[in-house]
Amino acid sequence: MFVSVFDLSMGATSDTIVSAATPPGTGGVAIVRLSGEGVADIAGDLITSLPEPRVASLRTFLGSDAKAIDHGIALYFPGPASFTGEDVLELHAHGGPVIVGMLVDAAVALGARRAEPGEFSRRAFLNDKLDLAQAEAIADLIGSGTAQAARAALRSLSGEFSEAVNLLVANLTKLRVHVEAAIDFPEEEIDFLSDRRLLARLESCGAEFRSLLRGAAVGRVLRDGFQVVLVGKPNAGKSSLMNRLSGAETAIVTEVAGTTRDILRESIDIDGLAVELVDTAGLRDDPGVIEQEGIRRAREAMANADAVLWVQDATEPAHGALDEETVPEVPVLVVHNKSDLLEAAPEGDGVWVSARTGAGLDALREHIKDLAGYHNLGEGAFTARRRHVEALQRAATHFEAGRSALQAARAGEILAEELRLAQSELGAITGEVSSDELLGRIFSEFCIGK
Ligand SMILES: Nc1nc2c(ncn2[C@@H]2O[C@H](COP(=O)(O)OP(=O)(O)OP(=O)(O)O)[C@@H](O)[C@H]2O)c(=O)[nH]1
Ligand SMILES: [Mg+2]
Nearest bound ligand to CA 240?
Answer: 1
Distance (angstroms) between ligand 2 centre and the Cα of 221 equals 26
pLDDT at position 357 is 96
Distance (angstroms) between ligand 2 centre and the Cα of 259 equals 5
pLDDT at 187 over 80: no
For the residues 181-194, what does the mean pLDDT come to?
71
**Residue 103 CB-density burial (10 A; 0-12 exposed, 13-18 middle, 19+ buried):** buried
For the residues 12-27, what does the mean pLDDT come to?
88
Q: What is the DSSP letter of 260?
A: -
pLDDT at position 344 is 80
**Tens digit of each residue's pLDDT (9 = 90 or more) over 52-108:** 999 999 999 999 888 999 999 999 999 999 999 999 999 999 999 999 999 999 999
pLDDT at position 85 is 97
pLDDT at 448 over 90: no
For residues 442 and 136, the answer to whether their CB atoms sit within 8 Å is yes
For residues 169 and 161, the answer to whether their CB atoms sit within 8 Å is no
- What structural domains does the chain harbor? 8-131 (3.30.1360.120), 155-222+381-430 (1.20.120.430), 226-305+307-371 (3.40.50.300)
Going by their DSSP bridges, the two strands 226-232 and 27-35 should be labelled as unpaired
Distance (angstroms) between ligand 1 centre and the Cα of 373 equals 29
**Phi, psi at 145, each rounded to 5°:** -95, -20
* Segments of 121-248 assigned E as strands: 226-232
- Ligand 1 pocket, residues with Cβ under 6 angstroms: 234-240, 253-255, 257-260, 281-282, 337-338, 340-341, 354-356
**Sequence-ordered alpha helix ranges (H) in 372-444:** 386-409, 412-430, 436-444
List Cβ neighbours of 134 (8 Å cut-off, separation of 6 or more): 156, 157, 158, 159, 162
Q: How confident is the model at residue 438 (pLDDT cuts 50, 70, 90)?
A: confident
For the residues 387-392, what does the mean pLDDT come to?
95
For residues 311 and 289, the answer to whether their CB atoms sit within 8 Å is no
Distance (angstroms) between ligand 1 centre and the Cα of 352 equals 15
Dihedral angle over CA of 23, 24, 30, 31, nearest 10: 60
Q: Is 434 helix (H, G, I), strand (E, B) or coil?
A: strand
pLDDT at 318 over 80: no
Higher-confidence residue: 146 or 32? 32
Paired residues of 58 in beta bridges: 73
What number of residues does the chain have?
A: 450
What is the rounded average pLDDT for all residues in the chain?
A: 90
pLDDT at position 30 is 97
Q: What is the rounded distance in angstroms from the CA atom of residue 436 to the CA atom of residue 430? A: 14
pLDDT at position 380 is 73
Nearest bound ligand to CA 236?
Answer: 1
Q: Is 426 left (phi over 0), alpha (psi -120 to 50) or beta?
A: alpha
pLDDT at 423 over 90: yes
pLDDT at position 447 is 84
Q: What is the rounded distance in angstroms from the CA atom of residue 169 to the CA atom of residue 186? A: 26
pLDDT at position 377 is 60
pLDDT at 13 over 80: no
Query: Which range, of 99-108, 265-274, 418-427, averages the lowest pLDDT?
Result: 265-274
- Residue bearing the CA closest to ligand 1, atom 6: 237
Q: What is the rounded distance in angstroms from the CA atom of residue 325 to the CA atom of residue 414? A: 41
pLDDT at position 109 is 96
- Residue bearing the CA closest to ligand 1, atom 27: 255
Q: How confident is the model at residue 8 (pLDDT cuts 50, 70, 90)?
A: very low
For residues 52 and 166, the answer to whether their CB atoms sit within 8 Å is no
Distance (angstroms) between ligand 2 centre and the Cα of 38 equals 61
The verdict on pTM exceeding 0.85 is: no
